[in-house]
Structure 1
Amino acid sequence: MSFISVRDPIYQFIDINKDLCIEVIDSDFFQRLRWVNQLPLEQLVYPSAVHSRFEHSLGVMYLARFAAENLCKNEGAKMKEILDEEGLEKKDFIEGAVIAGLLHDIGHAPFSHTFEEASIYAGNYCYKHEEVGYHIVEKLIGGKGAKSYQLALQALNKKLGKNKTGLARVSYSALILRRLIDGPIDVDKGDYLLRDAYHCGVEYGIYGWQRLWKHISLTQDLRICVGEKGAEEAWALVINRFRMHKAVYKHHVRLITDAMLVKLIRSALEDNGQVNRLFPALAKGRLADERAEFFFKSWNDGSFLHALSDYYRDKAENDLIDSFLKRKLFKRTFDSWSAGISLPEDWVEGRKNIEVRKRIRKVLDGLERELQRYHVESLAVVHYPDVPPVFDKTVQTFEGIVVKTKSGQEVPLAEYLGFGLKMTEETAEEFGDDEQETPNLQGQDKIEDFIKMYVKESEPKLLIFTKSKAYKESIDPRIVKEYVLREWKKSS
């Protein structure tokens, strides 16, 4: 086994297993990630945020190896039992983590989540990077016989879960790997928070990565948790993710550029003649054929933006793409919170429910047309502010991040750190058992009910962007409210 070392601003050096990884890294599918930016729109706010998904993937590979090695060390007996039962060695598990970390982002489209968001509303073209990515991974390593590759392949296949009898179809070791890459506490966000903060020049994403990943463990049901020494850094990961979302990922300029680009991409996606010109042909979630694969390999932020600009050259949207390219961005001229407007209660479901988001989008499309009648060219979006993590299930319940104490007890992170939600006698009466004189105030089911009832998700915010702030006086909050409520009622 031989390694090469490459310099990295986060970890100083990243060691790459030549026999295991170089063929994959040198493939045209993986090299494409050099030209797909990690933060393609944030760089319009933070000029130095021009790093790529290529370096992020190397970072996740490095962190996955570090975490997997420490997990095997901290949970030696349990991991040995699982691996022995599946005919695997510790080396297979660690190398599987390396490959899974390396390939977890290989299916991302140009402008990543913005492109996927636009495809949701396009109707006839739905792009999901995890599905496209899995089939690329299958092509790259599916024919390799080594157990580590097959383990990574299982871990990255999100469709592998439980069958009707409840028996896991995915192996326990692959399930652990999957949770290490994608879960309440995972090496994906473990790397991108550090890397994004570094390149943006902010301190929000910083946490003690060595201390955290050195002290990870497993719960009884095989979820990734932390030991007592890693608890503070687990909280640092959560709170700094929240801060990065507030200051970077959901920066108001990012919301504006998102809205502009989503509108442009949506219109293009509805033109079937642009298959393998603007976007690759898909069939059942995968690249449809060799032509689509060939197109995909050179499909990146730059090539896509150039093709999009060319597509709109003689169309009405040419002004919009021209404004985007010159950074002549729309301005925020209206928000429902400042205007004192309450949106329909069920709009909060759009945070997680795609069908609700589609219905909301249709109403907002109509609102843009309505404002056009008043000579206001606008982009309307709904923004879902993040819930402060102190109240989130990620830290308050057993579903999220758990601390495993020295005695083996499993405790929700918030409870271990001293800010677990505790109900008063008065509040608990609503959730307690009437037959009990003293209700169980610490029952997790009651805590979850308490969160749902008293810690409501932040109300979504309707934002309207226009070419100039001069249009602010032309937007009547009363008209906006009446239109939204009327059309939402019609759509139900």
Structure 2
Amino acid sequence: MTSENKLKILNDPIYGFITIPTTLLYDLIQHRYFQRLRRIKQMGLSSLVYPGAEHTRFHHALGCMHMMQKAVQVLRFKNVAISKDEEEALYIAILLHDIGHGPFSHAMEHSIVENIHHEEISLLFMEALNTEFNGKLSLAIEIFKGNYPRKFLIQLISSQLDMDRMDYLKRDSFYSGVAEGNINSERLIQMINVHNDVLVVEEKGVYSVEKFLVARRLMYWQCYLHKTSVGAELLLSKILKRAKQLTLNGVDLQASNALTFFLQNSVSKANFTNQILENFALLDDADVYTALKNWQFHNDKVLSFLSSAIVNRKLFNVQLIPENEVAGKLQQYKKWCKETFLINENEIDYFVFGDKLKNQAYDLKADPIIIYKKNNEIVDVLEASDQYNLKALAEPVYKYFICYPKGLAKVN
């Protein structure tokens, strides 16, 4: 009897062929926890703006693993010692770094799950898998947690120039069609090196880093922080909050068992047990979409109106306004909304709300992107660059907005 061949080759539209280098990685990819990522979109509700943005977190995770393989190959060629155990641990950590994302992750994190970030859930999944795989993920977990003594290995997983960003910028740009976000990840990886245990970029790669930072800024404004996408995500967050409120008040809502569990229970970091993790592993985009399709016909006016807005893409207006006008505009639009749709005071915050967008392509408070010069000097990329506008990318830019239903009659 022949054993199963686990050293597979996958075809990716971005990079071509991606290899699965070890049987452990194959088994992790085949695991139901990881396969769930096939059913979760990478860019959430962005497909309401960019119809091509239908790719999944499964795609992204495999792409990150491929980028990590290239990085290990380049560093070894430059005589950076990486053991076989460290190599496999890097692949595991980057493969599983997003496994804790729920459906429409950011909307989930601010509605039916409280005070727990997807990275913390990723770690819980990794620890559960480590138990199942008899401790074979222990080194990967140490690197993922930032506890491993070799700093550059941690930086490959999580930094301002990590393999996660290398893939998602290129992949999201490709699928959304926003060409401004495309980066030369292949050249960036060819230019990385290690100096004093810190990940650096060789001097001749400085222009690729400049392009990377500019592309990141543009992708945030055009995709991740696109006002319509953000408005839709906030709308979904409001829907889930309303559904949870109704459920806790004894209203029976039609939803999958997985989603119903989170509507009926208060879930936070403090009580996120293994049983809750198992329920979370059953939750994906299909649960939320199916619920929205049912809830648009519910007799609760708030739930049905908001659900229909997502399902039928009758999204709210999103108006950018100066910060000092937010409070006044909110009160004005709440008044108009109550008079137009006959909404009471307790429900108006579901229909008119505001928030702010923050875009900062380079964070001066985080580990810097270091340029390694030919004279062995190391400098921050902002100092190495002759682009004066690059320094502006380190300054956070805020935009303020309000959301309200279309067709609002402005009653005097």
User: One fold, TM greater than 0.5?
Assistant: yes
Q: Which runs of 5+ in 2 are unaligned?
A: 342-347
Looking at structure 1, the residues matched to 156 and 332 of structure 2 have their Cα atoms a distance apart, in angstroms, of 43
* Residue of structure 2 equivalent to 1:483: none
* Equivalent residue letter for 1:315: D
* Residue of structure 2 equivalent to 1:186: 162
1:287–1:399: structure 2 CA closer, same or farther, 3 Å change rule? closer
Structure 1 residues 233-282: Cα deviation after superposition (integer angstroms, max 9, x where no partner): 12211111111111111222212212211211222344457894345464
* Equivalent residue letter for 2:31: S
Task: Name which of 325, 336, 347 aligns with 2:321.
Answer: 336
- Say whether the 8 Å CA contact 1:384–1:459 is kept in structure 2: yes
Looking at structure 2, the residues matched to 329 and 263 of structure 1 have their Cα atoms a distance apart, in angstroms, of 13
* Equivalent residue letter for 2:383: E
- Say whether the 8 Å CA contact 1:193–1:206 is kept in structure 2: yes
- Say whether the 8 Å CA contact 1:132–1:285 is kept in structure 2: no
1:40–1:458: structure 2 CA closer, same or farther, 3 Å change rule? closer
- Say whether the 8 Å CA contact 1:110–1:304 is kept in structure 2: yes
* Residue of structure 2 equivalent to 1:464: 403
Q: Which runs of 5+ in 1 are unaligned?
A: 81-88, 161-169, 345-359, 423-446, 476-492
Task: Name which of 370, 374, 384 aligns with 1:416.
Answer: 384
* Equivalent residue letter for 2:142: Q
Task: Name which of 217, 222, 228 aligns with 1:247.
Answer: 222
Task: Name which of 384, 396, 404 aligns with 2:372.
Answer: 404
* Residue of structure 2 equivalent to 1:63: 67
Q: How many residues align?
A: 388
* Residue of structure 2 equivalent to 1:216: 192
Deviation at 1:185, TM superposition (A): 0.7
- Say whether the 8 Å CA contact 1:68–1:93 is kept in structure 2: no
- Say whether the 8 Å CA contact 2:42–2:54 is kept in structure 1: yes
1:184–1:267: structure 2 CA closer, same or farther, 3 Å change rule? same
Looking at structure 1, the residues matched to 194 and 163 of structure 2 have their Cα atoms a distance apart, in angstroms, of 15
- Whether 1:171 and 2:155 are equivalent positions in the alignment is no
Residue 204 of structure 1 aligns to a residue in which SS?
Answer: helix
Deviation at 1:367, TM superposition (A): 7.8
What TM-score does the superposition give when structure 1 sets the normalisation length? Answer: 0.70
Residue 71 of structure 1 aligns to a residue in which SS?
Answer: helix
Looking at structure 2, the residues matched to 367 and 172 of structure 1 have their Cα atoms a distance apart, in angstroms, of 56
* Residue of structure 1 equivalent to 2:176: 200
What TM-score does the superposition give when structure 2 sets the normalisation length? Answer: 0.82
* Equivalent residue letter for 2:149: Y
* Equivalent residue letter for 2:9: S
Deviation at 1:323, TM superposition (A): 1.8
* Residue of structure 2 equivalent to 1:15: 19
Give the ranges of 4+ consecutive aligned residues of structure 1 lying more than 6 Å apart after TM superposition: 363-368
Deviation at 1:232, TM superposition (A): 1.5
Looking at structure 2, the residues matched to 420 and 402 of structure 1 have their Cα atoms a distance apart, in angstroms, of 17
Looking at structure 2, the residues matched to 28 and 288 of structure 1 have their Cα atoms a distance apart, in angstroms, of 18
Residue 211 of structure 2 aligns to a residue in which SS?
Answer: helix
Deviation at 1:330, TM superposition (A): 1.4
* Residue of structure 2 equivalent to 1:101: 94
Task: Name which of 29, 52, 55 aligns with 1:51.
Answer: 55
Looking at structure 2, the residues matched to 289 and 399 of structure 1 have their Cα atoms a distance apart, in angstroms, of 33
Looking at structure 2, the residues matched to 63 and 127 of structure 1 have their Cα atoms a distance apart, in angstroms, of 28
Task: Name which of 299, 312, 327 aligns with 1:314.
Answer: 299
> C-alpha root-mean-square deviation of aligned residues, in Å?
3.3
Taking the TM superposition and a 5 Å limit, the aligned residue runs for 1:6-405 are 6-74=10-78, 76=80, 80=81, 90-116=83-109, 118-119=110-111, 125-142=114-131, 144=133, 149-157=137-145, 170-173=147-150, 175-220=151-196, 222-270=197-245, 271-272=247-248, 276-278=258-260, 280=262, 282=267, 284=269, 287-290=272-275, 292-310=276-294, 313-317=298-302, 318-332=304-318, 334-337=319-322, 342=324, 372-375=337-340, 378-387=351-360, 389=361, 392-394=362-364, 399-405=367-373
Residue 17 of structure 1 aligns to a residue in which SS?
Answer: coil
* Equivalent residue letter for 1:113: H
Deviation at 1:5, TM superposition (A): 0.8
Identity of aligned residues (%): 26
1:109–1:187: structure 2 CA closer, same or farther, 3 Å change rule? same
